[in-house]
Amino acid sequence: MFDVVIAGGGPAGSAAAMALADSGLETLIVDKSQFPRNKACGEYVSAGGVEQLRALGLESVLAPAAAPLDGIRLSGNGVRVELRFSQTGWALPRFRLDDEMLRSALSRGAAFLQARVEDVSADQIGSLLTVREPSGETREVRARFVIGADGTNSVIAKKCGLSVQPRGEQRFALGGHYGGLRDLDRFVEMFVEGRSYFAVNPFDAAHANIMVIVREKDLTARKSDVDQFIRERARSLSGDAARFAEAHLEGKRVAVGPLAHSTRAITAGNILLAGDAAGFIDPFTGQGVHLALRSGTAAAQAIVTAIGAPSSGRAAIENYAADLSSEMRRRSKLARIVRSFTGSAALSKRAARNVERDPERAQILIDAIAGCGPVEPALRLGNLLRLVA
């Protein structure tokens, strides 16, 4: 029996495994993928995410693969706003980030099994997971604690009855790594139109991760010529055909969705959710990797406390759930505030005017979203920037 089995070896799962292995706990990561693997993502790592990676001792190994980012340019509704980060973020391929994280977890003593988690149940002794290996064979794995870090389609969340069915019209992401671009600099560029947007995260002057977020009906309509659709979308939303005229996909195209997952609770007994499995925040604000790293580490700390001092174990798990729920609520609110700036021409103009008049206030909002500033004042100011003309 393992002390902890972690479903999913993405940033949340590997961060948890590092902390657990460092504490001497027998830890197994079960992931359906063979690593290194790709993950559909804009591949922007916020300053808060970079800080977490530094704390995990990974900055020196990852920095050479990362392109530094100085800020973000937001265009839409005829308005363009440029905001600088007060601490540098990264453009970093997930292929590399996730692989280095998993390697580091294994080098610290965690074990890895390539298998798909199919079921989880709890009994008096702990939890029992049913996993299917690539050969098709199933086996059972026992653990005192389980961390569900298996992303937005979390089997652990579903099997524990924690998932909530997404409602309303869903959005999907299309994109990948593109070359042949022109004049990219160290700014993420976001081009917004209603609920759709198009994000360019530059690796260098000519190469970037491009993600186009579209409504389900647009996806269905253009499924057969996705790359052409991406080019058209890029041109129309950026309003600058020349910069994207030579854009071509390099490597595999990404198409994922729906971009939604929420939960009614984050823990069930000795089973804890972390990262996207606990809840998905609109990727527009790029808070996902940072939150995955933080929640994975926090889940591990709660389990270390629970195993070390069983009398206070329940409280440690409950505190984890309460803290993460509150953090996710506040970060979702920040994402909604920023999205609301782009909701109409009037709001965009008003927000741009306020940002120009009061850049210090805008900086508080940007720093909070990037995970290098306090969230509460940013929430208050976010409302102000949005509402005060």
Ligand X SMILES: Cc1cc2nc3c(=O)[nH]c(=O)nc-3n(C[C@H](O)[C@H](O)[C@H](O)COP(=O)(O)OP(=O)(O)OC[C@H]3O[C@@H](n4cnc5c(N)ncnc54)[C@H](O)[C@@H]3O)c2cc1C
Which residue's CB is nearer to ligand X, number 37 or number 349? Answer: 37
Which residue's CB is nearer to ligand X, number 11 or number 126? Answer: 11
The footprint of ligand X on residues 7-26 (CB under 6 A) is 7-13
Would you count residue 219 as binding ligand X (CB under 6 A)? no
Q: Which residues contact 30 (CB under 8 A, 6 or more apart)?
A: 5, 6, 7, 8, 9, 112, 113, 114, 115, 117, 129, 131, 141
Total site size for ligand X, rule CB under 6 A: 37
Q: Give the pairing of strands 248-249 and 171-179.
A: antiparallel
Min. distance of Cβ 293 from ligand X in angstroms? 8
Question: Residue 261 carries which side chain, given as an amino acid letter?
Answer: H
Tell me the angle at which helices 359-369 and 375-387 cross, rounded to the nearest 10 degrees.
130
* Residue of the chain from 2, 32, 95, 298 that contacts ligand X (CB under 6 A): 32
Cα gap 102→111, rounded to integer Å: 10
Would you count residue 30 as binding ligand X (CB under 6 A)? yes
Would you count residue 367 as binding ligand X (CB under 6 A)? no
* Residue of the chain from 3, 31, 327, 367 that contacts ligand X (CB under 6 A): 31
The footprint of ligand X on residues 104-123 (CB under 6 A) is 116-117
Which residue's CB is nearer to ligand X, number 7 or number 302? Answer: 7
Q: In 3-state terms, what secondary structure has residue 223?
A: helix
β-pair partners for 8? none
Q: Which of 151, 113, 152, 154 is nearest to 132 (CA)?
A: 113
Would you count residue 371 as binding ligand X (CB under 6 A)? no
Cα gap 276→303, rounded to integer Å: 19
Q: Which residues contact 138 (CB under 8 A, 6 or more apart)?
A: 118, 130, 131, 132
Q: Which of 258, 262, 257 is nearest to 158 (CA)?
A: 262
Which residue's CB is nearer to ligand X, number 173 or number 230? Answer: 173
Q: Quick one: which segment of 72-80, 282-290, 361-369, 378-386 binds ligand X (CB under 6 A)?
A: 282-290
CB atoms within 10 A of CB 242: 10
- In the chain, % helix, strand, coil (3-state, to 5) comes to 45, 30, 30
Which residue's CB is nearer to ligand X, number 324 or number 381? Answer: 324
> What character string, x for contact with ligand X (CB under 6 A) and - otherwise, covers 70-109?
----------------------------------------
Which residue's CB is nearer to ligand X, number 181 or number 214? Answer: 214
Which residue's CB is nearer to ligand X, number 11 or number 373? Answer: 11
Which residue's CB is nearer to ligand X, number 126 or number 176? Answer: 176
Would you count residue 67 as binding ligand X (CB under 6 A)? no
Within the chain, strands assigned E span 2-7, 27-31, 44-45, 67-76, 79-91, 111-114, 116-122, 127-132, 138-148, 163-164, 171-179, 187-193, 196-202, 208-215, 248-249, 254-256, 262-263, 267-268, 271-273
The footprint of ligand X on residues 140-199 (CB under 6 A) is 149-151, 155, 173
Min. distance of Cβ 308 from ligand X in angstroms? 25
* Residue of the chain from 111, 256, 260, 265 that contacts ligand X (CB under 6 A): 256
Interacting residues toward ligand X by CB under 6 A: 7-13, 30-33, 39-44, 116-117, 149-151, 155, 173, 211, 256, 259, 275-277, 283, 286-290, 292
